[in-house]
């Protein structure tokens, strides 16, 4: 059984969407698949329309050793099974506090069904606590979905630290691959993100990119995998391609043996040095000047006022990694592009954003 955990402590980056759709496409390819929901939010079950009236038969009871794993399995389709979770699972960390071997609970539970499936897909919560730890220890491979926000790239470092701890303390080798998700190819930011990303993770990055599509959200809200909801939409092909890529790796990946060592090497590259960029604006008669852009998730930050030789100058230094960034000033509540920068791109509202190349 090939065991794959979807992990990233950043919420909303596409773990569950990927878990659901990957499981569904692998099952459609005739593989026998078990999806385990290790997230107390229970979204994997909801996203596949699994009814929660089996409430007492969740992964929680299995992890506590109160229920044999085979009794918690719910069959969704011929080759697709699921083990649900619910909010009670959030007590797991507390209940297990100090207990010996608490990181191995999932691994131990799986022994009984090791030969019953081709694939195990584990959906993890948005944290690096005991549940994610259990998932990573049980898995042989980790897929880290990363969406196009700098926020999720920042979180990657913590996650890799956790994985390193697992490798060292538990002596467990994990293959790691990163999946770019929720990519809107129309924006320059996303284009740049994908290009830099693929260049920096040539060996640890899926070729497949999951584009932004509202169909994925719709499908999940109808309790369906995309394959059962809309076969025409781009997300259908994206996740189908991902499943194919994973199937193709069956032999290849083991031969190459991607490990944390290789990704940490790449991780060094992930963080090229930041440069201090000084933003300056001459804005007399203004009371508040702020700046917002791709680098701060468009949340305005104040500039500092400096009177110099009778001029009213506003400035702020921001540390930026190499890349393209769109930004605007907010002068007393009014948006304005940077009058000192003639490089602009159209914004979605009919105006223009200034653009800086670092």
- Encoded tokens for 104: 């191995």
10 lies in the site for Mg ion, by CB under 5 A? no
User: What is each CA distance from 343 to 12, 312, 330, in whole angstroms?
Assistant: 33, 24, 18
Q: In the bound complex, what is the minimum distance in angstroms from residue 36's beta carbon to ligand ATP?
A: 14
Q: Which is nearer to ligand ATP, 115 or 214 (CB)?
A: 214
Helix (H) or strand (E) run with residue 141 in it: strand 141-147
Sole binder of ligand ATP in the list 3, 17, 69, 85 (CB under 6 A): 17
Sole binder of Mg ion in the list 43, 105, 177, 200 (CB under 5 A): 43
- Encoded tokens for 268: 């060094």
Q: Which is nearer to ligand ATP, 126 or 323 (CB)?
A: 126
Q: Which is nearer to ligand ATP, 146 or 263 (CB)?
A: 146
For 257: left if phi > 0, alpha if psi spans -120 to 50, otherwise beta; the answer is: left
12 lies in the site for ligand ATP, by CB under 6 A? yes
Residues in the chain: 358
Residue 349 CB-half CA count within 13 A = 7
DSSP annotation of 178: E
Name the one range near ligand ATP by CB under 6 A: 63-71, 187-195, 206-214, 328-336: 206-214
Q: Is the dihedral of CA 134, 131, 210, 51 positive or negative?
A: positive
> Is there a contact between 247 and 25 (Cβ–Cβ < 8 Å)?
no
In the shown chain, the binding pattern of residues 216 to 245 toward ligand ATP, with x for contact by CB under 6 A and - for none, equals xx--x-------------------------
- The footprint of Mg ion on this chain (CB under 5 A) covers a number of residues equal to 3
* Strand ranges across the sheet with 80-83: 74-77, 80-83, 33-37, 119-123, 2-6, 141-147, 175-181
Q: Which is nearer to ligand ATP, 123 or 338 (CB)?
A: 123
216 touches, from Mg ion, ligand ATP, none (C-beta below 5 to 8 Å by class): ligand ATP
- 53 phi/psi in degrees, rounded to 5: -75, 0
The rounded distance, in Å, linking the Cα atoms of 114 and 111 is: 5
In the shown chain, the binding pattern of residues 97 to 136 toward ligand ATP, with x for contact by CB under 6 A and - for none, equals -----------------------------x----------
105 touches, from Mg ion, ligand ATP, none (C-beta below 5 to 8 Å by class): none
181 lies in the site for ligand ATP, by CB under 6 A? yes
- Encoded tokens for 143: 């897929």
Sole binder of Mg ion in the list 2, 3, 15, 177 (CB under 5 A): 15
Residues contributing to the site for ligand ATP (CB under 6 A): 11-17, 39, 41, 43, 126, 181-182, 210, 212-213, 216-217, 220
Residues lying near Mg ion in the complex (CB under 5 A): 15-16, 43
């Amino acid at each position: 059984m090939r065991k794959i955990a979807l992990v990233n402590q950043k919420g909303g980056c596409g773990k569950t969407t990927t878990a659901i759709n990957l499981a569904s496409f692998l099952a459609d390819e005739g593989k026998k698949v078990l999806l385990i929901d290790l997230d107390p939010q229970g979204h994997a079950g909801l996203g596949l329309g699994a009814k929660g009236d089996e409430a007492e038969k969740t992964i929680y009871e299995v992890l506590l050793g109160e229920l044999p794993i085979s009794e918690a399995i719910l069959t969704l389709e011929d080759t697709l099974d699921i083990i649900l979770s619910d909010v009670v699972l959030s007590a797991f960390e507390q209940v297990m506090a100090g207990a010996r071997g608490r990181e191995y609970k999932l691994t131990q539970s799986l022994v009984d069904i090791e030969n019953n499936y081709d694939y195990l897909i584990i959906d993890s919560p948005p944290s690096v606590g005991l549940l994610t730890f259990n998932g990573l220890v049980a898995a042989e491979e980790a897929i880290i979905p990363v969406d196009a926000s700098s926020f999720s790239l920042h979180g990657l470092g913590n996650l890799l630290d956790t994985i390193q701890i697992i490798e060292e303390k538990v002596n467990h080798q994990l293959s790691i691959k990163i999946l770019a998700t929720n990519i809107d190819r129309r924006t320059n930011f996303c284009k740049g993100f994908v290009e830099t990303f693929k260049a920096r993770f040539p060996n640890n990055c899926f070729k497949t990119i999951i584009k932004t599509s509202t169909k994925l959200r719709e499908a999940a809200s109808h309790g369906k995998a995309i394959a059962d909801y809309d076969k025409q939409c781009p997300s259908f092909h994206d996740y189908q391609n991902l499943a194919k890529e994973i199937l193709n790796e069956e032999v290849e990946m083991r031969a190459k043996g991607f490990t944390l060592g290789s990704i940490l090497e790449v991780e060094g590259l992930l963080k090229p040095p930041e440069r201090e960029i000084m933003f300056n604006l001459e804005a007399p008669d203004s009371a508040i000047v702020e700046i917002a852009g791709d680098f701060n998730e468009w949340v305005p930050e104040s500039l500092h006022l400096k009177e110099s030789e009778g001029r009213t100058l506003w400035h702020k230094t921001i540390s930026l990694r190499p890349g393209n960034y769109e930004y605007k000033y907010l002068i007393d509540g009014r948006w304005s592009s940077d009058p000192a920068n003639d490089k602009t791109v159209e914004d979605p509202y009919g105006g223009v954003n200034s653009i800086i190349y670092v």
